[in-house]
Structure 1
């Protein structure tokens, strides 16, 4: 029974991510989400109770990987290794969870009205930790004196663009969908710019 529940919840979450990414929270309809998932509409309410709860679950599903991407940040870590692992993880999120990433970006652009306070607090705490690590490495002379906050903003923008602005990327590249070589090229390009810019 639990495997059926897990399967159905996964189908609904993926469908909801796509629907919310395409139409936004207000315009997305539960019926359309159910049809995308290939399940009856009552199943959506059975598992998630409301459209609002489902939207929050989509947000939570992307926040956890975002937080996990920051695990390499450690004051004792090697800046080159930490930044490399972080960039790879963030590009992987854009590749594997593009719709949830778009939903998250839209939520942030609208002032995060639906993002649970505990998730906001965890994201902020992690960002402050990452910035503190960067400041420490700069103070120790282990990397160039780049503004730590703006470096993090740049990393977020550079990695998330592959999900949030996929239409623009597809238009420029002439490809309907990027492949593994494209994502590898993205990682290598970002890392070349970031590591050289940080004197690493």
Structure 2
């Protein structure tokens, strides 16, 4: 007689997270984002994260087995969000319009996601120990793909001659600065207004002039 097959009555179905579990997990990740963005990975502690989440340390460890597991979860979730503005660069659009829109989207991320920007910056400053593979597998291929598009625009004379990779690096540097060095920017400007508006006007002018193709002689 063949062995009986497991039935739904004898084999438990995979359990989805309960509402409380989802709420606690979100609270942990949100608190960890604050702690990691302020103190970096080395300076952050599980006690700080648990306190910020309003949970006991043993309760936190029920959801994540280590500080590194929380850090990896944050960085993994961040990668897709971080790549979206570059993914939106349209090869069939007007080159200057597309690149200025990319600058605008990156500035918007500095305004809306400053903690995430500092989290990523801290990881890179430490040598990307937890993101090395993701950068090679996801970020590099995307940057290379968009660099080819920019190179084609240069070759067609649609924008001024620029090094595509260094153009992307320059956009990152001039936009993410407003998240990573927010306090320095605000102290120097000495006002309570959002510095992003002034940054956008300045960077749009800067990159428009940089990218403008030379006028053909008449």
Q: TM-score scaled to structure 2, two decimals?
A: 0.82
Aligned mate of 1:189, from 189, 202, 207 = 202
Going from structure 1 to structure 2, the CA distance change for 1:28 and 1:142 (only over 3 Å counts) comes to same
Which residue of structure 2 lines up, in the alignment, with residue 108 of structure 1? Answer: 124
More helix as a share of residues: 1
How far did residue 73 of structure 1 move?
A: 1.8
CA contact (8 A) 1:62 1:101 kept: no
Question: 3-state SS of the aligned residue for 2:160?
Answer: coil
Deviation for aligned residue 1:15: 1.3
Contact 1:69 1:89 in 2 (8 A): yes
Cα distance, 1:127 vs structure 2: 1.0
Q: What's the counterpart of residue 12 of structure 1?
A: 28
2:62 aligned residue: 46
Superposed displacement of residue 135, structure 1? 0.2
Q: Deviations over 1:89-108 (max 9, x none)?
A: 21121112211211211211
Indicate the SS of the match to 1:101: helix
Q: Which of the pair has more CA radius of gyration?
A: 2
Partner Cα distance (2:23, 2:102) in 1 = 30
Q: Deviations over 1:25-69 (max 9, x none)?
A: 122111111111222223322222221111112222332221101
Structure 2 unaligned segments of length 5 or more: list them.
Answer: 1-16, 214-218
CA 1:5 to 1:94, structure 2 compared with 1: closer, same or farther past 3 Å? farther
RMSD: 1.9
Contact 1:61 1:100 in 2 (8 A): no
TM-score when scaled to structure 1? 0.89
Residue 185 (structure 1) shift: 2.1
